[in-house]
Structure 1
Amino acid sequence: MRYDWSDDDRRAEALARPRGRDDGAMLASVRDIVNDVRVRGWDGLVDQARRIDRAEPRRLAVAPFAALARDMMPAATQAAIRLAARHIETFHRQTMPTDTEVITYPGLSVAKEWRPIRRAGLYVPGGKAPLFSTLLMLAIPARVAGVDELVVVTPPRPDCTLDPAIALAAEICGIEHIWILGGAQAIAALAFGAGDIPAVDRICGPGNAWVAAAKALVSAMPGGPGIDLPAGPSELLVIADDSADPATVAADLLSQAEHDMEAQVLLVSPSAALIDTVDREVTAQSTAMGGNHAPTRFIRCRDLAEATEIANAYAPEHLTLACENASAMVRDIRNAGAIFVGHKAAESFGDYLAGSSHVLPTDGAARFTGGVSTLTFMKAVTVQRITPRAAAALAAPAAALARLEGLEAHARAAEARAEA
């Protein structure tokens, strides 16, 4: 589909996202599934899993399937997985938050100290291609953050076994067991507990519209867990100028378009000639791979400054800057989950082995949040320490502020510290 940004009437259409999560019937079904598991626990979970996946939840040991992976997987592939794991761990260790103490008044200090959550639930998508990389991207920052317990779920395969690549990734991450369980019912079990599946403090990981809706629902329920970030179909927006290689740009677009038919794939460029060539390349490359790819939107803009405005308005999950002066453009990007700078940077590197997590905000959520990191699995606690002299000096102003809000008990609690 072609768009010209100068056509004001079509701008909204050019940047439109699918509204699958607004499906009232689906949301009602998700609510029914979640409530059944929340109320009936294991029995509800088993019934829902049998109905939806025709398979009961099973807790499988990782070791036998990891051994199978080592036997069947080429040594170079195993080495690539371990390389990715090292890069991910290196990045997250070096970007860990640090405790900070601030003296706000002589004798009064306020510190921000970081604590890991106790238990995290990790959802690893299944489907046509079980995403072992997602397990690495979730489990490694959680381990680095210091999470005590990881509860991992993944949808059942036809034979109800564990995918060997997922098992090998789990072994590398120190995970000994994985639950074969998917969908909204898995999210409900992680949120509220069911049988031997314990309730977790936060649920992380991407999934389909049912999983996304269930995550949003349980996080809003009393006693429910936190979630990592809003999730929708995968997204890539490429800004390219005439210095870009059309075949490479087309390959990048198709790498995102192959996720599913709802994947959001956009090229924004001031060059009509480049758009024409990339369009032909996308068709040729897609045909060569079987043609099962989401469609690409092509947006013609006035210049690269306007392209940056379009990117900030769309707030994509992934943003590629395939431009001659890409580095200079980065400072003007406010809204993006991950930015890939220059002709050699690739979303594929970010998806697997650059180091940062590929679990990123979609559906415009990059306007207010970033991707999964150690912070996802931690929380900040403030710690106040005060000397008697400082307490005596600050009691009166604190009491005055409390009385200004009509809170007499607060004021008296401050004045109780008035004597040094």
Structure 2
Amino acid sequence: MFESLSDRLGSVFKKLKGQGKLSEKNIQDGLKEVRLALLEADVHYKVVKTLIAAIKERAVGQEVLESLTPGQQVVKIVNEELTNLMGGANEEINLGGGHPASIMLVGLQGSGKTTTAGKLAVYLRGQGRKPYLVPADVYRPAAIEQLTKIGKELSIPVYPSDTDSKPEKIAELARIKCAQEGCDTMILDTAGRLHIDDELMAELGRIKATTPPSDILLVADAMTGQDAVNMAKAFNDAMDVGGVILTKMDGDARGGAALSIRSITGKPIKFIGTGEKSNAFEAFHPNRMASRILGMGDVMTLIEKAQDAVDVKKAAELEKKLRKSQFTLEDFKDQMVQVRKMGSLEDIMSMIPGMGKSKHLKQLKGSDKEMIKIEAIINSMTLEERRNHTIINGSRRKRIAKGSGATVTDVNQLLKNYTQVMKMMKKINKGGMKKMGRMLGL
């Protein structure tokens, strides 16, 4: 989402770093470009004005002008001020105030509330909670059916709502049913409208009064830019929301909403949706987001994703196989599946410091499709072929290509790459690691 803003800020900081000694004029010229970049990213003009003033106050002081690395000091200040702008630190969801806890999702129609309800349920389950989904949108066609289907796919219980019931009554009865089912967190998917109106707010008010929620989370579409900020302010004025979930953060919007919402509404962004899959959902950390915007990576989020995706037992078994050069195509496929659980290769690489602005990152845009193709090719092999690639002759290659929708050339390329990796691993195992250790003084 922040690709354009990151590129613009990157070029500004490159100029500043290249000038060695900075003057007040250099900094002011640089900040003008930063201001323009933020406005083009659809950040609210009042927010930009406040941010630039805060950066300027620090940047023209002694900590920068007398520093041995003034350009880097400016980047450090911008990073810190962006972090403060977005809230400073992550604010967790409120799960207190009653058993079971009740989370109320509100927002306009089309913002992604129903899909987000499922993602939030998966996230909370990963935190040790027992979520219970409640469809309370009795107006939109198939809304109840959609959430019921999501719950079934994710193995999360769903309250059997019907369109003849009033939303506030559904919420009231669902809370009782939630406790009976042994669940501790009720996620209420409320109805939305195409625009904010008195009828919508009145209904949400009745639900809130009947079943007081532990937290009210506004689901806003990040792709709508300043409209998302204005909508967040309107909902907060009417409902006093506890926080915001920004959806579609993987899109190509300019990202101004993420940088503006906290300052305009006073409410934190608690979560962001980063894709269509149920695990494409993460807690919002202002410091990590600021680092991503400035192309400095996000190692902590990468580690968390790896911990969720990687099977520790399988990883230990894989290490043994690699040491004995017993790494099969079946193992190769298993590793690809685990990597894909973490997200797209482009997203993963962008979290590594220094890779955010790398030209190689753009070359990864089609890599996920390649991984899917490779997985399909391996799936078309027999178990014997996966475990012993040397038996794959010409006729077998044709069969594998036909079964996977690939070409024989694709199959040949996969086998060639796999063979090269195995040769490299054998070299490492025959003393390469020892040589490397001596070089490092180990």
TM over 0.5: no
State the TM-score, normalizing by the size of structure 2.
Answer: 0.28
TM-score when normalising by structure 1: 0.29
The structure with more helix, counted as a fraction of residues: 2
Structure with greater contact order relative to length (CA < 8 Å, sep ≥ 6):
1
Q: Which has the higher strand share?
A: 1
